[in-house]
Amino acid sequence: MILNAQEISKSYFPDGVGIGRLILDHLDLSVKNGERIAIVGPSGSGKTTLLNLIGTLDRPDSGNIFFESLDLSEMNDVQLAQFRNEKIGFVFQQHFLLPQLSLYENVLLPTLANKKLQGPKVLERAHRLIDRVGLTAVMNQKPSALSGGECQRCAVVRALINGPQLLLADEPTGALDQSSSGILADLLVELNKEEGVTLIVVTHSEEVARKMDRMYTLKNGKLSN
């Protein structure tokens, strides 16, 4: 089991005080190594919140999240940053590529935060992954010269550069047209298989969800099959 979320709850306090709005209510989720999970649900149901909790960008109000045997709630911010850098990959609805960097440099961006990840091996991996997603020809271009689909594929490579065990994708196809959306979904599945990375995708797209091993619906703060 790579991920085990137990009884996690999260509320939001729009005014910072008073009675909060319960988003996740004693939610449980277990994900096996290499598994592909889709999480669907209506807007505002807490899908991104759940993904952020899993990705350690946020902390639950209660409950525990275990990554393998590691209790994430016991880690401080610095440890969590390192954890994210080494174990987690993120893909967002927007590609968030830095306009001043080339595609290749954007891919290498996560390696700057961790000296252990720097060196010839990572460069070789970057070249291989870029080639894998078909961006070798434009790897020295700036994001402004590329299409949305190309940028999003680059964002996927960036998420995988450090060899994470868990890839979290938050509406990765949300900003793409149907054709690009299909290509990206296939790419994620293929990379899941090739890299052995566990994949959790939050999506509104049934087409994308169907490509996953399991699909959960998040409603009223709880997951259901």
Counting residues that bind another protein (by CB under 8 A) gives 44
Geometric angle at alpha carbon 149, from 104 and 165, rounded to 5°: 65
Q: Per rule CB under 8 A, is residue 150 in the interface with another protein?
A: no
Q: Per rule CB under 8 A, is residue 40 in the interface with another protein?
A: no
Contacts of 73 (CB under 8 A, 6+ apart): 59, 60, 64, 65
End-to-end CA distance of the chain: 18
Q: Per rule CB under 8 A, is residue 162 in the interface with another protein?
A: yes
Q: Per rule CB under 8 A, is residue 174 in the interface with another protein?
A: yes
Contacts of 76 (CB under 8 A, 6+ apart): none
Among 133, 157, 171, 181, binds another protein (CB under 8 A): 171
Subset of 87-106 contacting another protein (CB under 8 A): 88, 90, 92-94, 96, 98-101, 104-105
Q: How far is the CB of 78 from another protein (least distance, A)?
A: 6
Q: Per rule CB under 8 A, is residue 224 in the interface with another protein?
A: no
Instruction: Provide φ and ψ at 124, rounded to 5°.
Output: -65, -40
The DSSP secondary-structure symbol of 38 reads E
Q: Which is nearer to another protein, 85 or 198 (CB)?
A: 85
Q: Per rule CB under 8 A, is residue 152 in the interface with another protein?
A: no
Q: How far is the CB of 25 from another protein (least distance, A)?
A: 19
In 3D space, the residue among 161, 143, 58, 146 whose CA is nearest the CA of residue 96 turns out to be 143
Query: Which tokens go with 107?
Result: 């891919």
d(Cα 101, Cα 95) in Å, to the nearest integer?
13
Q: Per rule CB under 8 A, is residue 86 in the interface with another protein?
A: yes
Q: Which residues bind another protein (CB under 8 A)?
A: 43-44, 48, 52, 55, 57-58, 77-78, 81-86, 88, 90, 92-94, 96, 98-101, 104-105, 108-114, 123, 140, 142, 144, 158-159, 162, 170-171, 174
